């Protein structure tokens, strides 16, 4: 009997699964960028929220990079944001 290696490791087993994960991650990155912008553009920018959302976005970008690396794509993240 073959060993089943897809034990909740969050890796797609086919192109359709990869496509669903790509769409999900792009949506999460887009929403997180909007949250960063919202907190950055307040009268008194919330630096803690900006830092936390930036860390979250970086995690999503890394997950996206890991997802597309096996098909030969390299992801470059955004430049570091300047502190307000």
Per-residue model confidence as pLDDT tens digits over 31-82: 999 999 999 999 999 999 999 999 999 999 999 999 999 889 999 877 665 5
Q: Which domain holds residue 49?
A: 15-71
Q: Is residue 10 part of a domain?
A: no
Per-residue model confidence as pLDDT tens digits over 13-39: 888 999 999 999 999 999 999 999 999
Q: Is residue 33 part of a domain?
A: yes
pLDDT (0 to 100) of residue 25: 96
Q: Is residue 76 part of a domain?
A: no
pLDDT (0 to 100) of residue 9: 61
Q: Is residue 84 part of a domain?
A: no
Total domains in the chain come to 1
CA distance 36 to 47: 10
pLDDT (0 to 100) of residue 6: 42
In contact, 35 and 80? CB cutoff 8 Å = no
pLDDT (0 to 100) of residue 80: 64
């Amino acid at each position: 009997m073959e060993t089943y290696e897809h034990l909740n490791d969050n890796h797609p087993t086919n192109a359709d699964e990869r496509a669903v994960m790509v769409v999900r991650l792009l949506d999460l990155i887009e929403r997180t960028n909007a949250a960063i912008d919202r907190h950055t553009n307040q009268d008194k920018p919330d630096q803690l929220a900006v830092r936390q959302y930036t860390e979250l976005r970086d995690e999503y970008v890394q997950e996206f990079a890991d997802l597309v690396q096996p098909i030969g794509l390299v992801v470059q993240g955004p430049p570091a944001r300047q502190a307000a």
